[in-house]
Structure 1
Amino acid sequence: MKRSFIYVLLVGIMVAWGLNVTALKVLVEHFSPVALTALRILTAGLVVLLFLWGIGKLQKVSWNEAKQIGLAALFSVVAHHFFLALGIARTTAVNAGLVLGLVPLVTALLAIVFLGQRPTLFRLLGIALGFFGVVFVVASGDGGLGHLSIGDVYVFLAVLAQGISFIMIKKATVEARLMTGWMLVFGSLWLFVLSLVLEPSGLSSLKEGTLPLWMIFLASAVVATALGHMFYNQAVQHLGPAESAVFINLNPFFSLLGAHWLLGEPISPMQLAGFLFIVVGVMFGSGGMDDVIARFRRAKAVEGGRKAGM
């Protein structure tokens, strides 16, 4: 798979993920969050497995691979989507989208710790700027930092869980698309159990959906969750977690636009400032600036070699 195609694919995934925050905000206002998430993830997992079966890529997995899938599913599916559903129900779509913009920074920090990537000055500066941007976001809410929204905390926990899962996916020996399908199915079963415990009437709330709501549900489950996670995880195995995560800086941008245009949520100057800090932090923290500097040095070295050969 060519890098240019992967880059275009990642941009498309970010559009879907950014707008998915708005879609989830609409859905959790009508359905119980955990029950809804369990059904959405199960639908996505079945779509991925059906897709792989259709192209002849649905294969058996070994016991060791099943353990890798199960452990990654606890973070990528259960923890991430559980906290995301709870968080979106308790904060605005704008705030949720901006906090989700921390995924690249958290992934870069975890890659430093668990994959041995060198913690350059730009990466450390990026991590600091990204977290500072989130401070701007939550400070602009009701009550400021003294009354931090529990929804913002839940969304950050979802970010942390997803960052951990990217490291696991990079280390896994299972093909990314196959791993995604089984992770979604296994994770959804755990989410159904959580739903029965936390939301006794959660499944019954799903009976009250209208046709427009179920259309939004299918778009979220199939496009954003099934196809989005399948191809993103494949990009992680091709490019690595840090480089793939660079593109997630587009996620809060599309989340902002979706929440503003579709839900009418206002965008404050503080939130815009926070967004800018997060974007700059992503570029630094995920290694974007390191790559630019490395290319510049290589170009200077080639130019110097040409001059020396004259």
Structure 2
Amino acid sequence: MNNRKKALIFGLVTVGIWSTVASAFKIALTRLDPLQLLLMACATSIVALTGIMVFQGKLHELTRMPRREMIRSALLGVLNPFLYYVILFKAYDLLPAQEAQPINYTWAITLSLLSIPLLGQKMSGKDMAAIFLSYFGVVVISTHGNPFSLEFSNLTGVGLALASTVIWALYWIFNTRSKADPIAGLLLGFLCGFPLIIIATLVFSELPTLDMTSALSAAYVGFFEMGITFALWLTAMKYAATPDGEGTARIANLIFLSPFLSLIFIHFLVGEEILPATIAGLGFIVAGNILMQYKKNTQNENA
């Protein structure tokens, strides 16, 4: 099997798993509150990431990491998993999955917005069009197809879903400066963020009482959403890498399948009736992401 086929397989498997996590969030949140879910999922992800490091023979990377990178990874652990997932899970707790998932998908647009003040990037006409399309899609979804009424289904939930995109975008902006092994950096961040999650759970909630459904759903979130998919996606990108960058771009475009597949799982696993407004709004969001991606590819070709 050549590298192109390996990249496609790893990419499709990753996208397939990502498409199920919104449903897993909602199922888990029927038995657990957001902090309890995060506590259990983070514990599972630490086990999963440690297992990956052992399998790859890279566990020593944690102790050999330069002190500056260790401090960076530890601080990033405040953003992810702590703040990001606390906010995201609360958004899912307040909103139907078919609303929270597409809104969270606007993180790439948020990343472009934050890159202007933080990375000194300039905004073009295509950027503005992409931003308008994506956030108009958010309004369409959160008003159930009545965007000009501005009557949101749950304004707090929508605000939290959008806030989660800010945290996620900040995490990736600050993470781009890291020279540490990606999985080692992620594991160290989770190890440093875990005590904060324990404290927050004890102060604002309580330790969860486990049953089979809550344990399995939380473990699924931790193992797949917060753990193994990161390694799978990195592997897909490694196999896809070509000198001209076209292979990586091709695999990266698979991510546009995820939100639409996610709606199918939400319908059949969670039981939500998918509204036409959700599909329409998601179309605007994806169009904005594609336009932003096209703009980046054009810049790379001209560089």
Name the TM-score class by shorter chain.
0.7 to 0.9
In 2, are the aligned partners of 1:28 and 1:89 still within 8 Å (CA)?
Answer: yes
State which of 254, 272, 282 in structure 2 corresponds to 1:265: 272
Report the equivalent of 1:225.
226
Count of aligned positions: 289
Report the equivalent of 1:161.
167
Aligned equivalents of 1:294 and 1:44: distance in 2?
Answer: 35
Given the two structures, how large is their TM-score scaled by the length of structure 2?
Answer: 0.83
| Bigger mean CA offset, 251-260 vs 19-28 | 251-260
Report the equivalent of 1:134.
138
Shift of 1:236: 8.8
In 1, are the aligned partners of 2:32 and 2:214 still within 8 Å (CA)?
Answer: no
Aligned equivalents of 1:136 and 1:6: distance in 2?
Answer: 35
Report the equivalent of 1:281.
288
Aligned equivalents of 1:167 and 1:3: distance in 2?
Answer: 29
Q: Structure 2: 5+ residue runs without aligned partners?
A: none
1:162-218, Cα deviation, whole Å (9 max, x unpaired): 11111122111111011111112222221111111111xx31x333x12x4433333
For the residue of structure 2 that corresponds to 1:89, the secondary structure is helix
For the residue of structure 2 that corresponds to 1:31, the secondary structure is coil
Given the two structures, how large is their TM-score scaled by the length of structure 1?
Answer: 0.81
Residues 228/71 of structure 1: CA separation in 2 closer, same or farther (3 Å cut): same
Residues 156/11 of structure 1: CA separation in 2 closer, same or farther (3 Å cut): farther
Aligned equivalents of 2:198 and 2:176: distance in 1?
Answer: 27
Shift of 1:246: 5.8
Aligned equivalents of 1:232 and 1:112: distance in 2?
Answer: 27
Aligned equivalents of 2:193 and 2:146: distance in 1?
Answer: 34
In 2, are the aligned partners of 1:45 and 1:183 still within 8 Å (CA)?
Answer: no
Q: Structure 1: 5+ residue runs without aligned partners?
A: 299-310
Superposition map of 1:189-228 within 5 A: 189-199=195-205, 202-203=206-207, 205-207=208-210, 209-210=211-212, 212-228=213-229
Aligned equivalents of 2:235 and 2:124: distance in 1?
Answer: 26
Shift of 1:115: 3.2
Pair 1:103 & 2:123 matched: no
In 2, are the aligned partners of 1:65 and 1:173 still within 8 Å (CA)?
Answer: yes
Pair 1:186 & 2:210 matched: no
Shift of 1:161: 0.7
Residues 290/155 of structure 1: CA separation in 2 closer, same or farther (3 Å cut): closer
In 2, are the aligned partners of 1:104 and 1:248 still within 8 Å (CA)?
Answer: no
Shift of 1:65: 1.2
Q: Which has more radius of gyration?
A: 1
Report the equivalent of 1:256.
263
Shift of 1:249: 3.5
Residues 69/6 of structure 1: CA separation in 2 closer, same or farther (3 Å cut): farther
In 1, are the aligned partners of 2:145 and 2:277 still within 8 Å (CA)?
Answer: no
AA aligned opposite 1:255: S
AA aligned opposite 2:172: F
In 2, are the aligned partners of 1:87 and 1:96 still within 8 Å (CA)?
Answer: yes
Aligned equivalents of 1:7 and 1:216: distance in 2?
Answer: 27
Report the equivalent of 2:53.
52
